Amino acid sequence: VAVVDNADVVALADAIVRGERRALARAITLVESRRADDTDTAQRLLDALLPHTGRARRVGISGTPGVGKSTFIEALGMMLLGQGKRVAVLAVDPSSPTSGGSILGDKTRMEGLAHDARAYVRPSPSGGALGGIATRTREAMLVCEAAGFDVVLIETVGVGQSEHAVSSIVDTFVLLVAPGGGDDLQGQKRGVLELVDVVVVNKADGPRVAEAQDTANHYRVAGHLLHQHRDWEPAVLLASAHEGTGLSDIWDKASAHLAHVEQRPGGLAARRAVQAERWMWASVEQALIQAVHDDVDVNAALPGALADVRAGRLSPGRAAQGLIKAFLKHRH
């Protein structure tokens, strides 16, 4: 990405704010780049875009592979376009570092959105690490906001931790589940449910309607129990992304959730402020870990430390102390 001097960055930012698609695509490529010089340019671009961000509805949509996320987003997104909203979709695939995985699948499942000038569909690499979801996807989201999209939908495959990452960058978090399997709502699913604002039992069509209703009831009970610890009881609704049913009720519930957040002390701004603080620390951690891995003195001490730890001669904690000491040696 050849954006170097400040005039280029300003020109790119202006083009994004004017809604130029190629500028948008280029900017997202820039914020996703792992090259050190791009990182600096990306930060300058984000600085320039910051005053234009924050106006979109941020909605996360998660669920196990194949539950119907992309099909659902296509149907929901088309409905929102019909209401005059502009919709951006960022699809995160934590399973592949380059997000090559389901791009094709996503684009074909979201054909209506992919071909509509008022929508934008973009795969977002997770950067290999789950923490990458929070930083890179968040930055791509900010670029979309500056480009004037009213709604940013973030699709992510649920693999446990990725739900935490995505729920920490959105206003409303939607979990898609399939009919069946609701009777043993334990462990991981229960943990995820604590983050969820709206549960959608998708594929409630054809022979699976009754089963979907049973599943919804299980989630209602679980959500109701959780409600004792939370001030929002997750709404549970049925949908068929195929038939396009349930969508407007789901959007109404998501809107009710947002209204609920708004009436808390400080409103949405307070929620986003807490999230921004978390992102900052996550970014500090990521940058520090990278710096430690890249450090000459750490790398000199590493083979010996590793050998000792593996042989049990040195505790991992002591070894870590030694590496940190080496890292800090030339820094004050």
Ligand X SMILES: Nc1nc2c(ncn2[C@@H]2O[C@H](COP(=O)(O)OP(=O)(O)OP(=O)(O)O)[C@@H](O)[C@H]2O)c(=O)[nH]1
Task: Please work out, in degrees rounded to the nearest 5, the angle formed at the alpha carbon of residue 286 by the alpha carbons of 282 and 287.
Answer: 120
The two structure tokens encoding residue 25: 């695509």
- Which of 62, 70, 135, 275 is in the footprint of ligand X by CB under 6 A? 70
Instruction: Considering only the C-alpha atoms of the chain, give the largest distance between any 2 of them, rounded to a whole number of Å.
Output: 67
- Which of 24, 27, 49, 70 is in the footprint of Mg ion by CB under 5 A? 70
CB of 184 to ligand X, least distance (A): 21
- Which of the stretches 68-76, 248-256, 276-284, 316-324 binds ligand X when contact is defined by CB under 6 A? 68-76
- Which of 242, 260, 271, 272 is in the footprint of ligand X by CB under 6 A? 242
Q: What is the DSSP letter of 331?
A: -
> Is residue 80 within 8 Å of 112, Cβ to Cβ?
no
Query: Is residue 105 close enough to count as binding ligand X by CB under 6 A?
Result: yes
69/122 with CB nearer ligand X: 69
26/69 with CB nearer ligand X: 69
The two structure tokens encoding residue 181: 């399997």
List Cα–Cα distances, 242 to 74, 112, 181, in angstroms.
10, 13, 21
Query: Is residue 223 close enough to count as binding ligand X by CB under 6 A?
Result: no
- Supply the DSSP string of 203-265, one letter for each residue: ---GGGHHHHHHHHHHHHHHHHHHTTTSSSPPEEEE-BTTTTBSHHHHHHHHHHHHHHHHTST
CB of 291 to ligand X, least distance (A): 34
Q: How far apart are CA 323 and CA 332, in angstroms?
A: 16
> Is residue 188 within 8 Å of 160, Cβ to Cβ?
yes
**β-pairing verdict for 151-157 and 172-177:** unpaired
CB of 105 to ligand X, least distance (A): 6
CB of 163 to ligand X, least distance (A): 13
Q: Which of residues 259-288 bind Mg ion (CB under 5 A)?
A: none
Of ligand X, Mg ion, none, which one does residue 137 interact with (CB within 5 to 8 Å by kind)?
A: none
- Which of the stretches 63-71, 188-196, 280-288, 323-331 binds Mg ion when contact is defined by CB under 5 A? 63-71
Query: Is residue 257 close enough to count as binding ligand X by CB under 6 A?
Result: no
- Which of 92, 157, 212, 250 is in the footprint of ligand X by CB under 6 A? 157
67/141 with CB nearer ligand X: 67
List Cα–Cα distances, 24 to 10, 12, 93, 286, in angstroms.
13, 9, 20, 25
Beta-bridge partners for 63: 157
Q: How far apart are CA 256 and CA 249, in angstroms?
A: 10
Of Mg ion, ligand X, none, which one does residue 54 interact with (CB within 5 to 8 Å by kind)?
A: none
Query: Is residue 67 close enough to count as binding ligand X by CB under 6 A?
Result: yes
Q: Note the residues at the interface with ligand X (CB under 6 A).
A: 63, 65-71, 102, 105, 109, 157, 202-203, 205, 240-242
Interacting residues with Mg ion (CB under 5 A):
69-70
